[in-house]
Structure 1
Amino acid sequence: MSVSDLPDELWARVLELGAASAALGFRDLCCLAIASRRLRRLSLHPSLWSGLISRDFPSQSQPSSSSSSSQQQQQLDPKSLYRTKFERHKLRMAEARRRAVYEAEGRVLACRRRLTELEESMCAEGDRMKATAQELDSLERVRSASVALNVWQPQVVHGRQKQLVQQCTVPVDSRFSALHMELKVCKQQISTYKNAYVCDL
């Protein structure tokens, strides 16, 4: 006994079980429809497509509150109704993907903006740290010159040291401590920016 000898009732039952168990989808039924005239006739049975509608579009299989929409759906055969629902679903999915892409692009843009801000902040903090280090170096020379004034030196060297001390208009010790603290804060801030930069990458 060959497969072609099976009665239509058995074939119909096989197709119903396949559709009910999700083993058969709309693409499978469309492929069967072009296999032979007999399978085409069986695959077009309304109960199969009604089952696919209930399975693939459960939220849309309920009766519509709009009378005109409900009447239009009742006029369509189940396969045509499935095609209509599938096309609408495909449009909704395409729109959802488009929105997801826009949202992802927005997040990427925001991330790039954040990274740019962090880079600018790190550069500004680096410049501040460099200026602080230079001022510290100058104060260190002033402090060394101030100590050297108490030691005998040649007149030329002594004059230079004295001039260097006189040009300093801020209290050396207090300013020196403040600059050390500022340098420490700069390093901590740069470290914070770097960590945030790595996390945002």
Structure 2
Amino acid sequence: YLPSYARTAASVAASAPQLSSGNSVEPNMSASDLPDELWARVLELGAASAALGFRDLCCLAIASRRLRRLSLHPPLWSALLSRDFPSQSQPSSSSSQQQQPDPKSLYRTKFERHKLRMAEARRRAVYEAEGRVVACRRRLTELEESMCAEGDRMKATAQELDSLERVRRASVALNVWQPQVVHGRQKQLVQQCTVPVDSRLSALHMELKVCKQQIATYKNAYVCDLRF
């Protein structure tokens, strides 16, 4: 296995007439015939850019003994440190006077810490999402209960409104001649009503309108939360 960057660079280098160091190169030589100096330069250029990553170096290390040896060069991992962890790769003045750890070991340590931080961030994101789901379900339940309560209130208002409409019609009918039985029944119905019919009818119509508006508001909120 070779990364596409390394294959391309090796092909170009193999077709070049001369190395930068001045050593001659056969025109038909293969990538495996390239000297270590050129391979090291290819890997350094790849590590300094985004063309070669730590996974590529690990794959190179298991491709052959030679590539394993070349992939362990400290400058490669120092370049990866500077590229992947720029804010953490600058040594302090006090620590620079002490012996620095192996760049590959340092990269592994920083990568493991970064992986743990990313895993923790994902866990927090999952917990937050689960919390939002629980809150949304609670909100949906509350909206369902509110809609049921408003529905019961609207039903009771409609029943009272229907009863008062009968009382109002009976009150009007008292002024018209009717058989005594019908007249007596309507008079009894009017006498049983203890509230002013007209004002109460107006209040009930308004309450019924408010109930419908409130139910519509709850339904809209329910649909929005359900889409979440």
TM-score range, shorter chain: over 0.9
Mapped to 2, the partners of 1:88 and 1:69 lie a distance apart of 23
**1:84 Cα deviation (Å)?**
0.9
Greater mean deviation of Cα atoms: 41-50 or 51-60: 51-60
Greater mean deviation of Cα atoms: 99-108 or 165-174: 99-108
Q: TM-score, normalised by structure 2?
A: 0.82
The alignment partner of 1:169 has SS state of coil
Match of 1:177 in 2: 202
Instruction: Tell whether the 8 Å contact from 1:126 to 1:186 is kept in structure 2 after alignment.
Output: yes
**1:72 Cα deviation (Å)?**
12
Mapped to 1, the partners of 2:161 and 2:90 lie a distance apart of 78
Greater mean deviation of Cα atoms: 164-173 or 17-26: 17-26
In structure 2, the CA distance between the partners of 1:81 and 1:73, relative to structure 1 (3 Å rule), is farther
Q: TM-score, normalised by structure 1?
A: 0.92
Mapped to 1, the partners of 2:189 and 2:97 lie a distance apart of 96
In structure 2, the CA distance between the partners of 1:17 and 1:91, relative to structure 1 (3 Å rule), is same
> Alpha-carbon deviations, 1:101-133, whole Å to 9, x = none?
111111111111111111111111111111110
Instruction: Tell whether the 8 Å contact from 1:142 to 1:165 is kept in structure 2 after alignment.
Output: yes
**1:96 Cα deviation (Å)?**
0.7
Give the number of the structure whose residues are more often helix, by fraction: 1
Is 1:131 matched with 2:156? Answer: yes
**1:80 Cα deviation (Å)?**
1.0
Match of 1:104 in 2: 129
Q: Which runs of 4+ in 1 moved over 3 A?
A: 67-75
In structure 2, the CA distance between the partners of 1:159 and 1:74, relative to structure 1 (3 Å rule), is farther
**1:69 Cα deviation (Å)?**
11
Mapped to 2, the partners of 1:191 and 1:70 lie a distance apart of 67
Instruction: Tell whether the 8 Å contact from 1:73 to 1:81 is kept in structure 2 after alignment.
Output: no
In structure 2, the CA distance between the partners of 1:21 and 1:154, relative to structure 1 (3 Å rule), is same
> What is the aligned length?
198
**1:77 Cα deviation (Å)?**
1.0
Mapped to 2, the partners of 1:73 and 1:27 lie a distance apart of 29
Q: Which runs of 5+ in 2 are unaligned?
A: 1-28
Mapped to 2, the partners of 1:20 and 1:73 lie a distance apart of 25
Q: What is the percentage of aligned positions where both structures have the same residue?
A: 95
In structure 2, the CA distance between the partners of 1:71 and 1:99, relative to structure 1 (3 Å rule), is farther
How large is the RMSD of aligned CA atoms in angstroms?
2.0
Greater mean deviation of Cα atoms: 128-137 or 112-121: 112-121
**1:62 Cα deviation (Å)?**
2.4
Instruction: Tell whether the 8 Å contact from 1:136 to 1:176 is kept in structure 2 after alignment.
Output: yes
In structure 2, the CA distance between the partners of 1:103 and 1:74, relative to structure 1 (3 Å rule), is farther
In structure 2, the CA distance between the partners of 1:189 and 1:59, relative to structure 1 (3 Å rule), is same
Is 1:150 matched with 2:175? Answer: yes
**1:76 Cα deviation (Å)?**
2.6
> Alpha-carbon deviations, 1:9-41, whole Å to 9, x = none?
111111111111211111110110111111111
Mapped to 2, the partners of 1:59 and 1:73 lie a distance apart of 20
In structure 2, the CA distance between the partners of 1:3 and 1:27, relative to structure 1 (3 Å rule), is same
Mapped to 2, the partners of 1:186 and 1:34 lie a distance apart of 73
Of structures 1 and 2, the one with the larger relative CO (CA 8 A, separation 6+) is 1
Mapped to 2, the partners of 1:114 and 1:68 lie a distance apart of 56
In structure 2, the CA distance between the partners of 1:20 and 1:140, relative to structure 1 (3 Å rule), is same
